[in-house]
Amino acid sequence: LAESVLLKWVNFHVKKMEPRYKKITNFDRDFADGVALGCLLMSHVPTLKSMQQFLTLPEKDQYSQNALSVVSAFRELELEHV
């Protein structure tokens, strides 16, 4: 039950930021490209400078770019030890 509530919350914010992105159904597989976590960050902190280069519909070879953007966003928020 808790997982389904969390999935609904994640999907709400992902669709708010990128309506064309797939529905999140699996935390491991669907978070792999960085889009879900990036969308959550942008939804809650839209002024993040480090997310300007974030790709909401990345190709596989661009996943690492999204990961770097997410890590930079955590640093910008002073959450780098999370």
pLDDT in tens, 18-28: 999 999 999 99
pLDDT in tens, 43-81: 999 999 988 878 888 888 889 989 999 999 999 999 977
Asked whether the whole model's pTM tops 0.95, one would answer no
Helix, strand and coil in the chain, % to nearest 5: 60, 0, 40
